[in-house]
Amino acid sequence: MIGSDEDLQVMFLCRRQFPEVRTPELLAKLVDVVSSSGGSNRNTANVATTAGSSSMAAVASSSVPVYEPAAQLVASPSFAVDLNDGVRDEVGSFDVLANALQGVPPVGVGDGELGYPDEDDVEPETIEDDSGDEVQEGALGHPVGFGARDAEGNAGLTEFQVGQQFQDKDEALLSVKTYSIRRGVQYKVVESDHRRYVGKCSEFGNGCTWLIRLSLRKRKGIWEVKRYNGPHTCLATSISSDHRSLDHSVISAFIMPMVRADASVSIKVLLNATAAHFGFRPTYRRVWMAKQKAVGLIYGNWDESYSEIPRWVLGVQLTMPGSVAVLRTSPVLVGGQVDESQAYFHRLFWTFPPCIEAFRQCKPLVSIDGTHLYGKYGGTLLIAIAQDGNSNILPVAFALVEGENAESWTFFLSHLRQHVTPLPGLLVISDRHNGIKSALEAPDGGWLPPSAYRAFCIRHVAANFALTFKGKDARRLLVNAAYAKTEVEFDYWFDILRSEDPAMCEWANRIDYSLWTQHRDEGRRFGHMTTNMFIASIRLARCSMSIGWDSHLQSRRASGHPTMGPR
């Protein structure tokens, strides 16, 4: 008898223990229920429905007779759950999600709009685990003897067999955990060390005798099932949206192909794919940890990658003659003495011959900006972007620095001027950061007029304006005045702004008109009023920084620098 929603949930959880039944059917019968006062609620018709039909839940009573339907029941057709629900915003179509469930990364995944990244795109630097799972090293795979068909469709559904072998302990644990997840049951670890592993059902002794014992065969170096009592004979008494065995190691093994194909895939996409595949929804933290583990297994850890930087610099210069890579390090002090055998990574500037050659065919302007990098060491990526006559965007130079300050911008802009943009009359579009101002105004930097000119991004100017003056209308008037191509048009919008509040015009007049208005730019802007070229390419830049050693080229932490190992 189903007496509540909880009973109905338990019923479906019990059904999960028989995954080989692809099309479950539910027969609901409407009956007369006698109330405590002796009256009754008469049903005018007897209705029988199957799963997948539109019906209301019926509550049966053992105190009244059940009326069987006169018509013969017809089994319902197979129905499919809408797996696209909850992930449509991430992947866009069912076909894409279906690929994700098979371990193929979603194609064309994009979170948020350009210029306003979704918070899922900006992954936090560190997230503490909420499950207490141990981080286990080593690649995870499917048990020996499982074919490709088993691995894809029946993983976790097949009962274990005595004598079944696994390459290592991690592989064995993955198989046990996957089995428990797919069966919707819980188990507890009785014994676990480098030679044996024993697990029992959480209801062991209460009607269920499920037990598995695995041990290491030293001669062959493999793990083998020595004893197995299965399958489970217990029934769940509660339901949960999460599963204890669905830890970050299991999730990491599942999302590994997705991360290998696209290391920038968002946590939200991975979480939805995991939930659709296993039937349980893990926490955001657990999926984040799983992705970090997958990235580490595929591309190596953060610290060791720094020792590859000098080799990379040398390799690029040898294989691509004309490439420019400038590496700056800082000394390591041990007991007050400089350790000559190692150094800390400090800054790196690089550009490639195609970038240098292509810039000569572009408009004489560059857009510069920086974006924070998220990971173990943080840091900032500085980029210079150009554009050709067909509005194609071209990144021309890059730098990894510790942050945006006068020294880091001077490092980047000096090498940009020397190696990429030596032509006179160049325009630099940027925000109003004091570090950029200091670097561009340096007497020996080569960025002073008439060698080069500076212009502000109107989007940043308007954002600063909005900090003082609230209201979208006033901000729109300022932007319209900035975009005006003639002085008459500029005065028209500026007079309206003055009528709103004279203080707004006084604020704008503190900035030289040549820095933020189009009618005073002397044609140098070519209509570019913002650094949106930079914003449009920042996703690609972040993606390229998330794989290989270059994903780890970050500057020092607040507590120290990442070491580069032996020189």
Residue-wise DSSP of 437-500: HHHHT-TTSS-STTTEEEEE-HHHHHHHHHHHS--HHHHHHHHHHHH-SSHHHHHHHHHHHHHH
Indicate the pTM of the whole model: 0.60
The mean pLDDT of 253-271, rounded to a whole number, is 90
Give the chain's length.
567
Residue 200: name the closest of 225, 232, 178, 170 by CA. Answer: 232
Stronger pLDDT, 168 or 89, i.e. the higher one? 168
CA angle 224, 103, 150 (to 5 degrees): 40
pLDDT tens-digit map of 320-342: 999 999 999 999 888 888 888 88
Q: Is the dihedral of CA 148, 150, 151, 152 positive or negative?
A: positive
Alpha-carbon distance of 481 to 436, in angstroms, equals 25
pLDDT at 559: 35
Alpha-carbon distance of 524 to 94, in angstroms, equals 47
Alpha-carbon distance of 64 to 179, in angstroms, equals 42
Of the pLDDT bands very low, low, confident and very high (cuts 50, 70, 90), residue 298 is confident
Alpha-carbon distance of 3 to 18, in angstroms, equals 23
Stronger pLDDT, 365 or 8, i.e. the higher one? 365
Out of 107-111, 172-176, 376-380, give the one with best mean pLDDT: 172-176
The mean pLDDT of 160-164, rounded to a whole number, is 90
| Beta pairing partners, 112 | 117
Alpha-carbon distance of 276 to 434, in angstroms, equals 48
pLDDT at 270: 95
Q: Is the pLDDT of residue 58 over 50?
A: no
Among 152-156, 287-291, 398-402, 534-538, the range scoring the smallest mean pLDDT is 152-156
Among 81-85, 217-221, 386-390, 431-435, the range scoring the smallest mean pLDDT is 81-85
- The three-state secondary structure class of 231 is coil
H or E stretch covering 418: helix 406-419
**Could you tell me the maximum CA-CA distance found in the chain, to the nearest angstrom?**
100
Of the pLDDT bands very low, low, confident and very high (cuts 50, 70, 90), residue 537 is low
pLDDT above 90: percentage of residues in the chain? 38
pLDDT at 428: 95
pLDDT at 359: 96
Out of 87-96, 282-291, 546-555, give the one with best mean pLDDT: 282-291
pLDDT at 32: 63
Of the pLDDT bands very low, low, confident and very high (cuts 50, 70, 90), residue 283 is very high
Q: Is the pLDDT of residue 248 over 70?
A: yes
Q: What is the dihedral of CA 513, 519, 524, 530, to 10 degrees?
A: 70
pLDDT at 251: 93
Q: Hunting for tokens 């009326």 — which residue is that?
A: 67
pLDDT at 455: 94
Of the pLDDT bands very low, low, confident and very high (cuts 50, 70, 90), residue 80 is very low
pLDDT at 492: 95
Among 168-182, 191-205, 229-243, 492-506, the range scoring the smallest mean pLDDT is 229-243
Of the pLDDT bands very low, low, confident and very high (cuts 50, 70, 90), residue 24 is low
pLDDT at 205: 79
Q: Is the dihedral of CA 412, 414, 420, 421 positive or negative?
A: positive
Q: Is the dihedral of CA 386, 392, 397, 398 positive or negative?
A: positive
The Cβ of residue 508 has, within 10 Å, a number of other Cβ atoms equal to 19
| Beta pairing partners, 563 | 344
Contacts of 413 (CB under 8 A, 6+ apart): 368, 436, 439, 440, 445, 447
Alpha-carbon distance of 90 to 271, in angstroms, equals 11
Of the pLDDT bands very low, low, confident and very high (cuts 50, 70, 90), residue 59 is very low
- The three-state secondary structure class of 365 is strand
Alpha-carbon distance of 6 to 184, in angstroms, equals 16
H or E stretch covering 266: none
pLDDT at 74: 32
CB 404 within 8 A of CB 371: no
pLDDT at 263: 82
The mean pLDDT of 220-225, rounded to a whole number, is 90
* Mean pLDDT, the chain, whole residue set: 74
Among 99-103, 214-218, 432-436, 526-530, the range scoring the smallest mean pLDDT is 99-103
pLDDT at 197: 93
Bond preceding residue 450 cis, omega within 30 of 0:
yes
| Burial classification of residue 72, based on how many CB atoms lie within 10 Å of its CB (0-12 exposed, 13-18 middle, 19 or more buried) | exposed
pLDDT at 309: 85
DSSP state for residue 317 in the 8-state scheme: H
Alpha-carbon distance of 409 to 434, in angstroms, equals 10
The Cβ of residue 527 has, within 10 Å, a number of other Cβ atoms equal to 11
The mean pLDDT of 130-140, rounded to a whole number, is 38
pLDDT at 130: 45
pLDDT at 536: 55
Q: Is the dihedral of CA 318, 323, 324, 326 positive or negative?
A: negative
Tokens encoding 100: 């994700």
pLDDT at 135: 35
| Beta pairing partners, 41 | 33
Residue 175: name the closest of 196, 195, 204, 145 by CA. Answer: 145
Q: Is the pLDDT of residue 69 over 90?
A: no
Distance linking the first and last C-alpha atoms of the chain: 74
The mean pLDDT of 117-121, rounded to a whole number, is 40
CB 237 within 8 A of CB 10: yes
The mean pLDDT of 82-111, rounded to a whole number, is 33
Q: Is the pLDDT of residue 33 over 90?
A: no
The mean pLDDT of 93-112, rounded to a whole number, is 33
Q: Is the pLDDT of residue 66 over 80?
A: no
